[in-house]
Amino acid sequence: MALVIITTSFLLVYVFRDSLFRKASVPIEGDITELVGKLGLNDDDWLNYDKEHEQHLGAFEIDSVKIMFELKRDHPHILVLKKKAKRSRSKHKKWEFPGGRIDGGESVLTSLERELIEEDPSGILVRAFQIAKAEREKLLYKILTLKNRKIQALFKSPISEKDWQDLELYWAKNPRNKEVYSYYLLPMQELDFSKDKQLWTPKSRAILEALRS
C-alpha cells in the first residue's frame, strides 16, 4: 500500500513539475476568428491533404516538415514539445512543433512519421497523424518559405482529448528521451509570441512568423 502511495505521489509530482512552464488556459477576449486569421490558422487558407498532393509536395525542395496538433476545447489548443538540446542554448528547453529535417530520399510524409516515432515512442502522435491522413479533410498543410529561404512543410491535424491525456500520462511514466523533455498544450493565443520569443526555438519562431505573413 505504501509503495502504491509513493508511486502515485511521484507521478503527480512529475506531471505538474513544469507547472510554471505551462501556460494557463484563459478565455479569449473578442472575436476568435480575428485571432485565428492573425495567426495564420484559418483552415480555409490551408490545403486538404490527399494522396495526389504527395506529388505537389515533391515539387518543392523542402528542408523540413513539422506538424501542429490541434485540440479544440472552449477554444483551440496547440501541442508543442519542450526540446532537449543541451549543446544549443537557442533550442534547449524551448517550445517546438513535432517534426524535423527530411533525410535524403525520404518523402515528406515518411519523414514526418519517422520524426514522430523518434520524438514520441508511445506511438500516440503518429497514430493520430495516420488517422487524420486516412480521413478526408482532417489533415491540412501549408508550404512556407522561412526568412532563411528554406522551404518548410507544415501540417495541421486534430488530436482528441483522450489522446492528449494518454500522451501526458505516458510521458509522466517514461520521461527518458534524447530529443524531448515532454509535451504541452498551449492555448492558441500563445502562438502570438511577440512577448515570449525566448520560449520558442529559432525554427518554431520562423514558422510562426511565416504563418503570419
Mean pLDDT computed over 201-212: 93
Report the percentage of the chain scoring pLDDT > 70: 83
Q: What is the pLDDT of residue 135?
A: 86
Distance CA 50, CA 38 (A): 27
Q: What is the pLDDT of residue 160?
A: 95
Distance CA 80, CA 193 (A): 14
The class (CATH top level) of 2-212 is alpha beta
Distance CA 100, CA 179 (A): 11
Tell me the torsion sign for CA atoms 113, 115, 116, 121. Answer: positive
- Residue spans per domain, the chain: 2-212
Distance CA 84, CA 144 (A): 25
Q: In this structure, are residues 75 and 40 in contact, taking their beta carbons and an 8 Å threshold?
A: no
pLDDT at 195 over 70: no
pLDDT at 103 over 60: yes
Tell me the torsion sign for CA atoms 114, 119, 121, 127. Answer: negative
- Predicted TM-score (pTM) of the model is 0.84
Mean pLDDT computed over 104-126: 94
More confident residue, 91 or 165: 165
**Lowest mean per-residue pLDDT among 23-27, 69-73, 89-93, 96-100:** 23-27
Distance CA 141, CA 157 (A): 9
Distance CA 181, CA 14 (A): 11
Place of cell 482529448: 161
Q: How confident is the model at residue 207 (pLDDT cuts 50, 70, 90)?
A: very high
- pLDDT tens by residue, 161-183: 999 999 999 999 988 888 899 99
Distance CA 127, CA 113 (A): 9
Distance CA 157, CA 130 (A): 10
Residue whose C-alpha is closest to residue 99's, from 110, 117, 85, 115: 115
Mean pLDDT computed over 22-35: 60
Mean pLDDT computed over 113-135: 95
